[in-house]
Structures are given as C-alpha cells and as structure tokens.
Chain A
Amino acid sequence: MTLFDIPTAALLGQLMLGLINGAFYALLSLGLAIIFGLLKVINFAHGAQYMLGAFVALLLSRHFGIDYWAALILVPVLVGLSGCLLERFLLRPIANQNHLYSLLLTFGLALIMQNLFTNLYGSSGNAYPTPEVFRGAVNLGFMHLPLYRAWVIVAALAVCLAAWFVIEKTRLGAYLRAGTENPQLMQGFGINIPFLITLTYGFGAALAAFAGVLAAPLYSVSPTMGANLLIVVFAVVVIGGMGSIVGAVVTGLAMGLIEGLTKVIYPQAATTVIFAVMVMVLLLKPNGLFGKGA
C-alpha cells in the first residue's frame, strides 16, 4: 500500500517520530509560555534546563542507583528549586529593567551550563537505559511502536493536561492568571506576587527538566541537546503565539507532525521546515495562530 509513492509504513513511522518530537515541542513551549505570562521574560535557559534534567537523571542513576521512576519525580523538583533560586537571586534584581536584560541574563546562564557540562562530561552523547517495563514494542498492524515512545507521548500529554487543569481550574492557577493580567492589583489584594513569580519560574524550569528526563532514554544525553531544540521551540512559540496553553500544545504537536512528514517527502528540508512555517505565519497572521496581540 502506498500513498504519493511513499510506503505507508515509512510514512506512519515518521509521523509517529514527528508526534514524539512534537510532544517535546509542546512541553517546552508550554513552560516558556507560563514563564512569559507572569514574568514577561523569555527564558533562554530553558534548553539548558531541559539538558540539566536529562543529565541529573543520568548522574543520579550512575552514582546513586536512582531509577527512572524516582528520577521522573525527583529531577523536576531539584531543577525546579534551582530555578526558584535563579529567579530570586539573579532575575529579580533586574526585574524593573528592560526585559531584554533578563533575556540576556538567561542566555549567559545557558552558555555557562552548556560549557560546564561539556567540560565535565565531554561533548559526545551518553546513553540512559530504557526502563524495564518499556523494553520491547507493540505491533500496531501497520508498524512496530516501541513501548517507550508510546509512553513519552502519553506522559507528555498527561503533564500538559495537568498543567492546563492547575492553571484553569485551581485557586493557585486563578492567582497566576490574575497576576498575568494585573500584578499590582493582585498585590493590593494581599497576594504575594514576588513569591508567585519565583514559584512560576521554578515550575517552568521543572517542566523543562521533566521533558529532559523523558528524553534521556530516547535521545543520547549530551550538553548541546537543549540548545538547538530551544531555537526550534522559539519558532513554535512564534507560530502559536503565547496566548493559550491549548495553543502551545496543539502547535507543538502539529509542528512535530509537519517535520515528520517533511522527513518522508523531502528530507533535506526537515531541519528548516518549521522555520519556513514560521515565515508563512508571520506573513499571514503576524500575531501567531493563537496569539492575542503583539
């Protein structure tokens, strides 16, 4: 069976890979959007925090024998705490300056982290073992889907859904949304906005670290794994706009699928197709597909 002269199995296989990449785009752009909403800061360290998540999981398993499941909880907490400290002691002092300075600060931190890990652990990739339960594959009839890949999609979507629930349906989320709209007024109502900001940044960093742990068994753990990914995620954010959580998730998954499709049809363009989509969106709908204004 073929479609456009392409074997269906190959097509579906690439689409599945694309969906997995898309799940990572969705998780990372979600974190960026949450941080941006309250802090008005684009977190350039997001890619580094993703890398940090994967590395901490690797080191915990190497030196302390902590397994995948514990790492999935522990690593986001650790990286999230480091994010809280970073916000409190580095970002807060320049919060009243032009927001471009915060962007540059996080960029500098990303450079430091990436270089530090390159020097300590080399620039080549390190393998992280796939957890026991997910070894093997399931036959879907048209393709063999490795179990771990299926888990990544489920877990990423579950976390996105949980984040949506927390932000839209809980009291803490209501504070967050109100703080995004008008922080001064919320402060006047007795909400501790500075603390909420610290928490939000930590939560965003924790999301990136969670994505990193998920990615560890899938891709090799290397110091540069986050940097190139982050630039693609930026393009995804520009395409989707940072208006809504659903928008971030849908755009992330869609871009993953488009990338997968391109790999089948015209592999040379696979690295550039998302940027090309960004160009088209900028021409047709400059505020992004789900954006609410510049």
Chain B
Amino acid sequence: MTTSTLYPDTLQASRQRRQLQLGLALLAIALVAPFVAYPIFLMKILCFALFACAFNLLLGYVGLLSFGHAAFLGTGGYITGFLLTRYSGLTPELGILGGTAAATLLGLLFGLLAIRRQGIYFAMITLALAQMTFFIYLQAPFTGGENGMHGVPRGKLLGLIDLKNDLAMYYFVLAICLSGYLLIRRTVNSPFGQVLYAIRENEPRAISLGYNVAAYKLLAFVISAGIAGLAGATKTVVFQFASLTDAHWHMSGEVILMTLLGGVGTLLGPVVGSSLVVWLHHVLGGSVLGSWMGTILGTIFVLCVLLFRDGLVGYVQKFVRRNLR
C-alpha cells in the first residue's frame, strides 16, 4: 500500500549500503540477544516475526488480505507436533519440514479456492476456510482438542546437537527465521516480485500485459502459507506443544495487527510490529490489564487504521527518504 520510488544509480548504491549496515547491525543484536534477554521470549518473537513477514508478503506485496493465516500457523504446528510425537526417531528439522510441507499443501488448496474472488470476498473466503480448519482440528483425535498437544520432544538437531539447551535452540530458530526472511526478501526483489507489484497496483493492466495473474497470485499465496507453516512448526518445537490458539481467527487478526503496526509492505515492518505485540502480551499478560488485552489490541487496530496507516517502519522510511538523501 506504499508506492516504491525508483532511485538514480548513485542513490541506489548509497541506499543499498545503508540497508547492508542496518542488516548487519540487526544480525549482531540478534546474535548477542540471548545473553541479555530470556531466550524463550526471543524465540517467540522470532517465530511470530516470521509469521508476520509471511503474511505481509501477501498483503504488502500483492495487496491480498488473508484473514485465515492462522490455519497455516496451526497446521504447521500440529503436523510437526504429530510427527515428532508419533515417530520418535525423527529429527526436529525433518519434523519441521513435514509441518511446513503440510501447510504449503493447505495453502495450495486455500489459494485455488480463494483467488477465484477478489478484495473483500478474498478476506471472507480465507476466514471461512480457516474457521473450517479450526473446527476440524477441534474434533480430530490427534490434536487433543481443547487441551492441545503436549510433550512434543525437541530432540537432537541432525541427530547431533541437543536442542534441550535453550541457547542451541535459539540459534537454530534464528537460522530458520533468517532463512525465511531472506527467502521473502529475495521473492520481493526478484522479477517475480516485480510482477506482484504490478498486480497490486493495477491488476487489469497486469492482465493486459499478458501475465497470468491468477498463477502469480497463487504462487505468492502458497509461498506465504508455507512460510507461515514454517513459523508454526518451529514454534511447536520451541514450546513443545501445539494448541487451538494458533489456529483460531484471533490469531489471523493478530498477525494483521502486527503487520499494520510495523508497516504494511515494508520488509522490516512485520518484524518490528510482531516484536511489539509479543512484548505487549508478555508485559500485560501477568498484570491486571491482561484481561483487557482485546480492548488494547482493538484500540491499537483502530488508531493504526485511522491515523497511522504507514506503520512505524513506514514512517521511519519516509523520514529517512526525506532527510537523508
């Protein structure tokens, strides 16, 4: 929902240098963070950041609002949990791969149905499909219904590194989320991503230029669903349990809020937004305000939509572009 500007070569170079510096600084922070903050909390942020980035690939770069992304987060989590609990010989990375594959497949099914309608219908269809998935998980015997799936083993990475150590787990999660983020970044900056831009800005024109718009949308949807599933799968291994919360429509709403707060259509926005929301849950969860979470998140939603549509990163970017040419 923001417009990209084309820069002359020199500006482009200085912009790229700035981006590289920022990226390296953030990476350095991520590498030292577990020695300063609680690793489990950081891993939660990382998983939700990846989830929000996956969601933003659709909303920010194709202009499609999915109201059913919780289904992919939940599916990734449940299938990974099921695989790791059932087959004790399975290493965690294979379990995560299985969960991701399941979410990708579900994304293909959802995508084939949902891209038949546009705009507001797209949001309603994804929401309804996700609700159907939720009811299936509620009744299916393997998920443990409302109790959730407990005692998922973390296991040994590649059969070698014991992930019961939180620090080892943290660097594994960091590697997964970083790869997911870089994949999204690569997708957005590729020729494929440029066509997605074109579809977002003017779909009829993209069609008249000869692009198979439906196929592009579908592929973007499947990639987004797969990465959301990867986030859910990783989250299950970290917390050793999977629950209905991750598949509920509240979660679909929350990921929209994370993206909106950080900045729709910016690469780092979802990371910032999800960090803030997870932090808010962490701080308020134990306090008297915990039961008012819905009101607080709802109010942030309304304020973001009314006054703050570019999000935090969007505003910083605008500021930087205006002042640091």
Contact = CB atoms under 8 A, between A and B. Distances in A.
- Do A and B pair up? The answer is yes
A218 interface: no
10 contacts: A42-B123, A93-B306, A99-B119, A100-B120, A108-B301, A116-B294, A231-B127, A231-B249, A238-B117, A275-B129
B42 interface: no
Contacts of A227: 249
A83 to B, nearest CB: 16
A278 B294 contact: no
B124 to A, nearest CB: 4
Interface string B109-124: 0000100111111011
B249 A118 contact: no
Given A104-B256, A286-B116, A235 B128 contact: yes
A115 interface: yes
Contact of A275 (B116, B117, B131, B253): B131
Contacts of B249: 227, 231
Interface in B82-136: 113, 116-121, 123-125, 127-129, 131-132, 135-136
Given A108-B299, A108-B305, A278-B128, A115 B293 contact: yes
A111 B123 contact: no
Contacts of A105: 301-302, 305-306
B309 interface: yes
Most buried by A among B1, B117, B118, B256: B117
B308 to A, nearest CB: 11
Interface string A62-101: 0000000000000000000000000000100110011111
B127 A294 contact: no
Contacts of B294: 111-112, 114-116, 118
B4 to A, nearest CB: 17
A238 B123 contact: no
A99 B120 contact: yes
A110 B117 CA distance: 25
Interface of B: 1, 65, 113, 116-121, 123-125, 127-129, 131-132, 135-136, 138-139, 249, 253, 256, 260, 291-295, 297-302, 305-306, 309
What secondary structure prevails in chain A residues at the interface with B?
helix
Given A115-B298, A237-B124, A238-B128, A107 B253 contact: yes
Contacts, number: 117
Most buried by B among A94, A100, A118: A100
Contacts of A108: 297-302, 305
A14 B131 CA distance: 23
Contacts of B129: 275, 279
A287 B125 CA distance: 12
A184 interface: no
Given A99-B119, A105-B301, A238 B135 contact: no
A243 to B, nearest CB: 12
A265 interface: no
B262 to A, nearest CB: 14
Contact of B1 (A98, A103, A279): A98
Contacts of B301: 104-105, 107-108, 111
B18 to A, nearest CB: 29
Interface string A220-246: 000000011001101101100000000
Given A111-B301, A227-B249, 19 more contacts: A94-B305, A94-B306, A104-B260, A107-B253, A107-B301, A108-B297, A108-B298, A112-B298, A115-B291, A116-B295, A228-B131, A232-B128, A232-B131, A235-B131, A238-B125, A271-B138, A275-B128, A278-B125, A282-B117
A109 interface: yes
Question: A interface, how many residues as a size bin?
Answer: 35 or more
B298 A231 contact: no
Contacts of B256: 104, 107
A268 interface: yes
Q: Which 4 pairs between the two chains have the least Cβ-Cβ distance?
A: A115-B294, A108-B301, A111-B298, A112-B298
A230 B201 CA distance: 31
Given A108-B298, A275-B131, A286 B117 contact: yes
B201 to A, nearest CB: 12
A76 to B, nearest CB: 24
Contacts of A268: 139
Contacts of A232: 128, 131
Given A97-B309, A115-B295, A103 B123 contact: yes
Nearest to A287: B117
B44 to A, nearest CB: 21
Contacts of A97: 309
A170 interface: no
Contact of A42 (B118, B124, B138, B297): B124
A89 to B, nearest CB: 10
A238 B124 contact: yes
A272 interface: yes
A293 B308 CA distance: 33
Contacts of A278: 125, 128
A30 to B, nearest CB: 16
A98 B123 CA distance: 14
Contacts of A275: 128-129, 131-132, 135
B253 A111 contact: yes
A230 to B, nearest CB: 9
Contacts of B120: 36, 40, 42, 99-100, 103
A182 interface: no
